């Protein structure tokens, strides 16, 4: 399941719900992305996430389908926020449930790596020097490419 929303999410509730009632699930893996106060050299007081409504949901659904094609998942969830966030706020939740931990952990890692480079989101940071667009990191491209090579 995927959700793109302005509102915060409740981690406990989301993770509980993911595997509720499915007793074949042996493990749930999760990643929670948070707003850092130091993206670059200057302190960051807020982060604004912009996205491409319509395409965002489509790309996240494709990425999720790809994870389900590669690993035997019982359930998966991507919740990605947009709008204005502050340091410490949650940005994204990725969670995967599977009978075995290897599949859940690998699929969770794959999903967060891929959505960093493939989902149409853009971050802008508020700093003492003004608003600054976050530049794409080559490390993120390399992390996503690793999964393509392993395909």
Partner 1 sequence: MKLLYFAWLRVRIGHAEEDLALPAGVHDVAGLLDWLRGRGGGYAEALRDVAVVRVAVNQEYVGRDHPISDRDEVAIFPPMTGG
CB of 109: closest distance to partner 1 in angstroms? 12
Cα–Cα distance measured from residue 61 to residue 67, given in angstroms and rounded to the nearest whole number: 10
Pairing of strands 75-81, 2-5: parallel
Q: Rank residues 22 and 131 by Cβ distance to partner 1 and give the closer one.
A: 131
Is 135 one of the binding residues for partner 1 (CB under 8 A)?
Answer: yes
Q: Is 133 in the site for partner 1 (CB under 8 A)?
A: yes
User: Which positions ≥6 away from 15 have C-beta within 8 Å?
Assistant: 28, 30, 95
Per-residue x/- mask for partner 1, residues 14 to 53, rule CB under 8 A? -------------------x---------------xxxx-
- By CB under 8 A, is residue 121 in contact with partner 1? yes
Contact status: 65 vs partner 1 (CB under 8 A): no
How many of the other CB atoms lie within 10 Å of CB of 96? 30
**What DSSP designation does 136 have?**
P
The radius of gyration computed from the CA coordinates of the chain, to the nearest angstrom, equals: 16
Per rule CB under 8 A, is residue 97 in the interface with partner 1?
Answer: no
Chain Cα centroid distance, residue 132:
22
Q: Give yes or no for residue 95 binding partner 1 (CB under 8 A).
A: no
Q: Name the site residues for partner 1 (rule: CB under 8 A).
A: 33, 49-52, 54-55, 58, 80, 91-92, 112, 115-124, 133-136, 140
């Amino acid at each position: 399941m995927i959700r793109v929303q302005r509102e915060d999410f409740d981690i406990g509730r989301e993770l509980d719900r993911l595997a509720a009632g499915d007793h074949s699930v042996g493990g749930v893996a999760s990643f929670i992305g948070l707003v850092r106060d130091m993206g670059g050299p200057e302190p960051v007081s807020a982060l604004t996430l912009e996205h491409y409504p319509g395409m965002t949901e489509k790309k996240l659904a494709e990425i999720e389908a790809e994870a389900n094609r590669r690993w035997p998942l019982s359930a998966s969830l991507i919740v990605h926020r947009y709008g204005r966030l502050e340091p410490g706020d949650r940005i994204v939740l990725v969670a995967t449930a599977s009978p075995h931990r290897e599949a859940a952990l690998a699929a969770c890692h794959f999903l967060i790596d891929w959505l960093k480079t493939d989902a149409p989101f853009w971050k802008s940071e508020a700093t003492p020097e003004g608003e600054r667009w976050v530049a794409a990191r080559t490390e993120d491209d390399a992390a996503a490419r690793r999964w393509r090579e392993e395909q």
